[in-house]
Structure 1
Amino acid sequence: MDLLRDVLKGQSAKVFFSVFMALIFANPALASGLASGTSELTAFKDWVWTLTGIFVFLFIIVQAVRAMMDQITWLEFALSIVKVVVVGGCITVVTWAMGVFGVAP
């Protein structure tokens, strides 16, 4: 009840910060140093890329099936492939630019 009362009084930032710090210091993987944090972030990045790849594959398959069933035109199917390529290219360009300017991702 005290937590709810503090949130309702407008002290939600303090409560959030306290809970956040408690979670960080309670988890040894997050509080054990830079190497551990870097490896956790790399694992998270790999997981996100894998999940994104699965969603892109399913998106293209669904669009191909829709084109075969004449729900969309083949031009719209080609444009959906172009959209996927453009989004992937933007991520690649940002990563390259960060490397050029010395900000390692």
Structure 2
Amino acid sequence: MKVIITQTAEDSLEEIYRYKCEYSVAHADDFLSNIYAFTTDNLSVFPRLGRVYNPERGLFRLIYAKAFNIYYTIREQEVFVLFIIDGSISLNQELADPKVPLPEF
């Protein structure tokens, strides 16, 4: 199955990357490489690996490294990664609310 990282997910990863760069660019580079590999390798083979997070919207959540939430949806033969967020921020709760708009893909 094809995995598509949306611009919204890219933007959220960029914020995490910049934060990690404050400590170590090498660590930030490794993190970015590893989370991309984890996401694409796993979801391309096991698209339903994550737990259903919002059934009304077809939203799944997969957790990476015990702290980062990968939100995605499945459409036909494609997995769209919508958000990748640090689990400590409040957007995690907001995504559970069906009134929050999801990006178009």
Alignment TM-score, normalising by the size of structure 1: 0.31
Alignment TM-score, normalising by the size of structure 2: 0.31
- Does 1 or 2 have the higher relative contact order (CA < 8 Å, sep 6+)? 2
Task: Please identify the structure whose Cα radius of gyration is greater.
Answer: 1
**Which is helix-richer, 1 or 2?**
1
